[in-house]
Amino acid sequence: MQAYQFSVTPGRTAIADGQEMLFFSGYAYLGMHQISAFTQLVKEGIDRYGWIYPSSRISNTQLRLFAQAENLLSSITGSEATVLVSSGFTAGQLATELWQNNLVNLQPSHPAVQRNNVQLPGIPPAFVAVDAVDTLTASITNIPALLATNTPPKICIIDDSHGIGLIGPNGQGIAAYTQTITNTQLVYSYSMSKAWQVNAGAISCSATLADAIKKLPAYAAATPPSPALLHAFVHGQDVYAMQREKLRQLIAYFHAIVANIPGLLVHKELPVIILPHTFPVHELHNKGIIISSFAYPDASGTIFNRVVINALHTKEDLDYLSKVLHQFI
């Protein structure tokens, strides 16, 4: 496995060992860190709020910005309320904490929402957790079909870290595909970093559940997300939409030019393409291409080879990658 260390955050390309290489890895799907209109909003946020607001979330001194961001997230996901936290992993842990002793994990389930409880035979679970997107198989979970049982669960916690801001007609994530579910209360837990490039997490849910989460010590005692990044999030929705459309066009283009390559796992809405386990990744390195290639979540397990397209790439980049893939598959 080829390992890389960068002195500058990659975008369309990365500098590795003094060589500029095409970068098809990471999770900066929309490439916001290299969009000047977005970085300007971050700078505005720093000037107005500073880069950190080290205060308890239940303090009597609050920034109005946090409520503005939470209201926007509730609108995006179609939820009654949203709770902002410091990371997507924290969001998953808080979202599952109230039912941790009775929660059953469906597949796939990220470690953030994984409680490792065993389902008793013949007893339908009342509380379940599952991922919206599986980046190891390039697939979107069919949540309505998964919950269509004679005894649907009371609560379904959905980790939408790789869907929110990316999939759905307007980037609303898996919420775009769960509107028909009425017998199960849905809780959306997600990282805001993958598409939105905001180092934060959130839980969108009912107002009652949001109030309960805000009473948990792990919420009350934690430092909130960076207000500078939240300022950029609130005021950068048009920039997100522009980058999302660019990425959708690139995904469609790439899928078309690799359609005749056997063994690839793709999904029309996802920028992640899974290569065969046996693919000679070192040949990509020799051709000036970096992809994601490591074992996850078990560091000693199977290595997954993933191509990740981001909105900074060009069609010429994809043409070159396609040419190399055709050569070695």
What is the pTM for the complete model shown?
0.94
Q: In sequence order, what are the beta bridge partners of 293?
A: 305
pLDDT in tens, the chain (329 residues): 678 888 889 999 999 988 999 999 999 999 999 999 999 999 999 999 999 998 878 888 889 999 999 999 999 999 999 999 999 999 999 999 999 888 999 989 999 998 866 666 666 799 999 999 999 999 999 999 999 988 999 999 999 999 999 999 999 999 999 999 999 999 999 999 999 999 999 999 999 999 999 999 999 888 899 999 999 999 999 999 999 999 999 999 999 999 999 999 999 999 999 999 889 999 999 999 999 998 877 778 888 999 999 999 999 999 999 999 999 98
Is 53-225 in the same CATH topology as 13-35+238-328?
Answer: no
10: cis peptide before it, omega within 30°?
no
Please say whether the dihedral angle defined by the alpha carbons of residues 20, 290, 247 and 193, taken in this order, is positive or negative: negative
Q: Are 115 and 96 in contact (CB under 8 A)?
A: yes
Residue boundaries of the structural domains of the chain: 13-35+238-328, 53-225
Please give the CATH number for the structural domain made up of 53-225. 3.40.640.10
| Lookup: tokens for 307 | 């191509």
Under CATH, what is the fold of the domain 13-35+238-328?
Aspartate Aminotransferase, domain 1 (3.90.1150)
Q: What is the distance between the alpha carbons of residues 143 and 290, in angstroms, rounded to a whole number?
A: 33
